Amino acid sequence: MSVTPGQQPAAPPERPRRALDVALRIAGGVVAVWAGVLAAVLELIFAAGAWELVKGRPDGVSKAVVGISATLGGVAGVVALTVLLGWFAHAAVGTRWAVALAALPWFVVIVAGGVRTAEGDLALTGDNVLGLAMVVAGAVTFAVLGFRQLVAPPPAR
């Protein structure tokens, strides 16, 4: 195809590009929702397992050391995972409210973990200090991420 110096080539159609962008944003939103569910389930499993490990230790210094290290490691892991989820949701969807796509399913699964089933199973008990610390850390981190996204100035285009 030859173009004369004064003539511009025809612009490609914009429609397929826009549809691809919307499809990728929707797919990113779905991944963010499922990542929030997966993160909450993994956190509940870790909290229950680590708490059973701490409770099974004999009283003394080793029980305190294991409990403190499990709590600090669990809380640090929750904060890091929550920040990663918030970043991914915002990057994948591209809107300010995208952090809610990961936060809402996370909260639903965490609340469901604190409700006793008909069989008597309970993932998050009231005496599980590690689990409660992880829930508070995750909730506060999601709240801070959401607040930062809402008050940040819009990006320059």
Tens place of pLDDT for every residue, the chain, 157 residues?
555 666 777 666 567 788 888 999 999 999 999 999 999 999 988 888 888 888 777 777 777 788 888 888 889 999 999 999 999 999 999 888 899 999 999 999 999 988 888 887 777 777 788 888 889 999 999 999 989 888 877 766 6
129-151 and 61-93 helices, crossing angle to 10°? 30
Which pLDDT score is estimated for 46?
A: 87
∠ CA(76), CA(79), CA(51), 5° rounding?
55
Give the pTM: 0.79
SS (H, E, C) 32-54: HHHHHHHHHHHHHHHHHHHHHHH
Which pLDDT score is estimated for 130?
A: 84
Which pLDDT score is estimated for 13?
A: 59
15-56 and 61-93 helices, crossing angle to 10°? 170
Q: Are 131 and 125 in contact (CB under 8 A)?
A: yes
Which pLDDT score is estimated for 2?
A: 58
Q: Are 142 and 106 in contact (CB under 8 A)?
A: yes
